[in-house]
């Protein structure tokens, strides 16, 4: 079945499109009370998370850890896997590797979004894609040790000039030696880049490993113009059995945003 998930940022500088922020324990209890199945956490680093405390918290609430994000590698340290400097690329890879080691303890996937970087002066696209493939092969195999996929997120053109669509992502996966990288389909980015979001998901098939559930304007479902009915149908058609994770702005406030998202999940996916 398709399961619900809600985002929690532990990075104040990366407040962004995350419903809950800062207090992990309080956020988990709110998620439980609302009926979410899982959480998706964005920590400042692997070392900043007390794994034992997190394990106790998940046991107390009955929640699963669906995924762990790496946005802090970019927001706090400006690290990318395609930086022109070899030292920065190595640092970025080690940051993600440490997040994989944290998430793997909970059988949770790790997300690579903004840390994919972009090509610019000093790094043409062919070279950048070469560095990206090398990193994904290495990190995908590292995640494989924990029996979980590495999640790669195509982003819109304003955030990267490397991989923007699901089709671009499928092409990238086809050039990798590892088979342990899946795509994260973010409906906000897809609204910008795809001609037909539902058709793109159909085309993604079993390459789709995670979904960011969000309306067209990065607000909660129902606050934009996205038609979720064909999207939900497409995910069911491809046999998707993962999470739809609420990665949205906490508007009008976190509690109401979370309430809107769990209600939308029940309407479109809990059938």
Name the catalytic one among 85, 94, 153, 159: 153
Name the catalytic one among 40, 193, 194, 247: 247
Quote the CA–CA distance of 3 and 130 in Å, as a whole number: 35
159 CB contacts (<8 Å, ≥6 apart)? 114, 189
To the query of whether residue 153 is one of the catalytic residues in this protein, the response is yes
Catalytically annotated residues: 153, 247
């Amino acid at each position: 079945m398709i399961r619900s998930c809600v985002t929690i940022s532990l990075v104040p500088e990366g407040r962004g499109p995350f419903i809950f922020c800062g207090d992990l324990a309080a956020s988990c209890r709110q998620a439980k009370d609302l009926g979410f199945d899982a959480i998706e956490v964005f920590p400042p680093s692997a070392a900043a998370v007390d794994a034992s405390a997190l394990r106790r918290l998940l046991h107390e609430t009955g929640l699963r850890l669906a995924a762990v994000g790496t946005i802090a590698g970019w927001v706090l340290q400006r690290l990318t896997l395609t930086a022109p400097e070899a030292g920065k690329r190595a640092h970025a890879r080690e940051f993600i590797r440490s997040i994989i080691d944290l998430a793997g303890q909970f059988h949770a996937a790790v997300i690579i979004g903004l840390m994919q970087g972009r090509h610019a002066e000093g790094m043409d696209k062919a070279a950048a894609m070469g560095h990206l493939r090398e990193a994904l092969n290495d990190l995908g195999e590292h995640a494989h040790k924990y029996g979980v996929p590495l999640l790669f997120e195509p982003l819109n053109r304003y955030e990267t000039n490397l991989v923007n669509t699901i089709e671009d992502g499928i092409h990238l996966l086809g050039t990798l030696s590892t088979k342990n990288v899946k795509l994260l389909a973010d409906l906000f980015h897809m609204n910008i880049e795809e001609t037909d979001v539902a058709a793109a998901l159909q085309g993604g098939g079993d390459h789709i490993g995670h979904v960011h559930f969000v309306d067209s304007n990065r607000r909660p479902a129902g606050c934009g113009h996205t038609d979720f009915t064909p999207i939900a149908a497409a995910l069911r058609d491809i046999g998707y059995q993962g999470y739809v994770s609420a990665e949205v702005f906490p508007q009008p406030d976190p509690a109401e945003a979370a309430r809107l998202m769990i209600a939308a999940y029940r309407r479109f996916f809990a059938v």
